Amino acid sequence: MTIGWHFDNTYAKLPKTFIEKIKPTPVHDPNLVILNKELAEDLNLDFSKIDNKDLAKLFSGNVLPGDTSTIAQAYAGHQFGHFTMLGDGRAVLLGEHLVNNTKRFDIQFKGSGRTSFSRNGDGRAVLGPMLREYIISEAIHALKIPTTRSLAVVSTGEKVIRENLLPGAVLTRVASSHIRVGTFQYIAAKQNLNYLITLVDYTIKRHYPEIQSSNNKALDLLNLVMEKQCQLVVDWMRVGFIHGVMNTDNMTLSGETIDYGPCAFMDHYDPKTVFSSIDKFGRYSFSNQPPITKWNLARLAECLIPLIDKNEDTAIKIATEIIDNFQNIYELKWLNMMRDKLGLFGEDKNDIKLINNLLNWMETNQADYTNTFCYLMNINSIKNEVYKDKNFIDWFKNWQKRILINGGSQENSLELMKKNNPIVIPRNHKVEEALEAANNNELKPMNNLLSILKKPYVKQGNIEDFQVPAPISGEKYQTFCGT
């Protein structure tokens, strides 16, 4: 197949402790459901001369490209706070595809069969959750937030046992790497200093080459990862995204969003919003995402203690000071992000009060998070009486006055807001409609949704149906892990 694959598999050359060499388990009757042609182009891959039957064989793992070195990666993780030794229990990494000999991308199959890390699992994935990951990851990419991406989904022609018998599928995921906080936890648990040094050096070479000659690589790595993860969670908060399962094995060292399981977007503003069926106590709720990010980074810091300083007490003191600074970094980034959402230039001592007054009003009045900022941008496709509320009108007047401070203008503020406030997000009920139709072999709703989500900051015609939040009902919307 003259597709353009260019594999160079460095992770597969790491010590055996890091990996298991294994091939995907072939499937019975693969069929291509969707192929991301734009992403393929970005990867310098050309599938135009390959028919759908052969593409299905390729993206199911029944036929592998040349020069792959298929492995499952070992890692650990704190899952809802409890430490577990894990690993790729239903994923196989084909290898690292090089684009123009400079950019390196992991190509991974998700749902590709059992590995030694499966822990009694079947190693398979279900069509609905794989298409959910495809939709949401591509939406997050369009929202200009760092993320793993989805290249293809193939149905397997096999049934997978969950609560019911469900159609199986394999997702092809593309990532700058799959190195996680949990990868460091796994290696740290082995208590082999040479392995830890190997992982630090590998991660730095792959993601942070600017610190390769640093006097304290581990310390600089911790600082850089904290900066990236802090920015990532600020971006999630900007668009109302709730990851849903922020275990340490779902936090990447590259700063990309990974693992779209019980993820969803918030409709009406409620900081306690949680959708995951297994998150009974709101550990991964919307407002808890920043402190959980800090908590996860503290787990990374623990792994790096032996390399930060030879004196353990000194190393712990240094690492603690870095992690404790997370709050300061986050609060400043969050404040500036909210200023951008409101079109505010410069600083004013009353900015936090202005922002919090709006958020409190939204929460009290169950106002839609995304549409409230659309209203402020005068994008009035969605009519809502809630904005005639006296408290909102009073707030609006104060906001208008603030816009003109620091040389601001209505025009410049609007331009700033347009860059930071999406007009359309993957509304949960529209995602469910698309997935339900796809389960019945009707792909038009999903393709239509994907087309609209490609331009979230652009005012598109005839998208009102995709802007309206789900009707309020007695049933709480829930998302599921898919395993």
Question: Catalytic amino acids?
Answer: 249
Q: Could you write out the DSSP letters of every residue in 265-287?
A: E-SB--TT---BTT-TT-TT-GG
Express the helix, strand and coil content of the chain in percent, nearest 5 each: 45, 15, 40
CA atoms within 13 A on the CB side of 211: 19
Q: Compute the distance between CA of residue 449 and CA of residue 430 in angstroms, rounded to an integer.
A: 8
Phi, then psi, of 268 in degrees rounded to 5: -70, 145
* Cβ–Cβ under 8 Å, residues 54 and 63: yes
How buried is 442 (Cβ within 10 angstroms: 0-12 exposed, 13-18 middle, 19+ buried)? exposed
Cβ count within 10 A of residue 169: 28
Residue 95's DSSP bridge partners are: 107
Cβ count within 10 A of residue 366: 13
Please enumerate in sequence order all residues whose Cβ is within 8 A of that of 428, keeping only pairs 6 or more positions apart, or say none. 264, 265, 267, 275, 470, 477, 479
Tokens 């900022």 correspond to what residue? 373
* Cβ–Cβ under 8 Å, residues 186 and 199: no
User: Which of these, 178, 180, 127, lies nearest to 148 by C-alpha position?
Assistant: 178
* Cβ–Cβ under 8 Å, residues 246 and 293: yes
* Cβ–Cβ under 8 Å, residues 345 and 407: yes
User: Which of these, 81, 148, 85, lies nearest to 299 by C-alpha position?
Assistant: 81
* Cβ–Cβ under 8 Å, residues 228 and 255: yes
φ/ψ bin of 259: left (φ > 0), alpha (ψ from -120 to 50), beta (otherwise)? left
Please tell me what DSSP assigns to residue 479: B
